[in-house]
Amino acid sequence: MEAICEAIQAIQARIEAAARRAGRNPEDIRLVAVSKRMAWPRLLAAASCGQLLFGENYVQEAATKIPRPPASALEARMQYHLIGHLQSNKAGLAAQLFDCIETIDRLKLARALDSQLARLGKVMPVLIQVNIGGEGQKSGVLCGDARRLAEEIATLPRLRLRGLMTIPPYADDPELTRPFFRQMRQLLEELAGLGLFAGDQPPELSMGMSADFEAAVEEGATLVRVGTAIFGERS
């Protein structure tokens, strides 16, 4: 438990330093603790160190792991973002479990989620996942298709489009990833200029993982998704 607290503090310090290097306010960046394949007590340990925002990849895993209803005041304050691929037939369960879905990448999914949210009487903040490297097997809309999907999502009453998310092509060196982060920032600004994001707050840009979150912060990330650097290697 102490090791988790120390790891979280160390990452927060690195986020803060990266923000300052870029002339940004560190408070504009939130750490998403990626807890896929981590048992529930590990999440609780992180929460007791003040890390209340988590990222989960699989709807089914989240459904079996997260106690419902929350069993304590601390648990009630924990929030969950879905950061993995979502199948349309799991939209109903995802709508119940998550506070934000970061991986909307097609209209069919957006529509399915919207109608499930209507049944639940809920509204959901969502991000569009962008396949910024244009990689064949990867989820996400291509950069050139993001605007149209954003326009379509804007017509769905239960979805609040709050920004963009990406997993750039894998690289050993974060400097090779930086141009993709920069392109994401440009795309975000382009869509923001068209008034496609909901809410009064600046739009969200979810990018950066254990190996490259500092470069992501320097390039404008508002959500960084860090797993192994907090919880250690996944089994």
Ligand X SMILES: *Cc1c(COP(=O)(O)O)cnc(C)c1O
Give the nearer residue to ligand X in terms of CB position, either 35 or 116: 35
Residue 91 lies near ligand X (rule: CB under 6 A) = no
Comparing CB distances to ligand X, the nearer of 197 and 231 is 231
- The residue length of the chain stands at 235
Asked if 85 is part of the footprint of ligand X (rule: CB under 6 A), the reply reads: no
Q: Is 38 in the site for ligand X (CB under 6 A)?
A: no
Give the contact letters, 114-153, x = binds to ligand X (CB under 6 A), - = no: ----------------------------------------
Three-state secondary structure readout of the chain = CHHHHHHHHHHHHHHHHHHHHCCCCHHHCEEEEECCCCCHHHHHHHHHCCCCEEEECCHHHHHHHCCCCCCCHHHHHCEEEECCCCCHHHHHHHHHHCCEEEEECCHHHHHHHHHHHHHHCCCEEEEEEECCCCCCCCCCECHHHHHHHHHHHHCCCCEEEEEEEECCCCCCCHHHHHHHHHHHHHHHHHHHHCCCCCCCCCCEEECCCCCCHHHHHHCCCCEEEECHHHHCCCC
Selected binder of ligand X within 11, 43, 223, 226 (CB under 6 A): 226
- Residue 167 engages ligand X in binding (rule: CB under 6 A): yes
Smallest distance from the beta carbon of 209 to ligand X, in angstroms?
Answer: 4
Q: Determine, following the binding rule CB under 6 A, whether residue 83 of this chain makes contact with ligand X.
A: yes
Q: How far is the CB of 95 from ligand X (least distance, A)?
A: 19
**Cβ closest to ligand X, residue 156 vs residue 224:** 224
Residue 10 in the binding site for ligand X (CB under 6 A) = no
Distance, in Å, from the CA atom of 171 to the CA atom of 148, rounded to the nearest integer, reads 29
Which CB atom, from 29 or from 83, has the smaller least distance to ligand X?
83
Q: How far is the CB of 100 from ligand X (least distance, A)?
A: 13
- Give the pair of three-digit tokens for residue 156: 């769905």
User: CB of residue 193 vs ligand X: minimum separation in angstroms?
Assistant: 27
Minimum distance between the CB of residue 57 and ligand X, rounded to whole angstroms?
Answer: 5
Q: Rule CB under 6 A: which residues touch ligand X?
A: 34, 36, 57, 83-84, 167, 209-211, 225-229
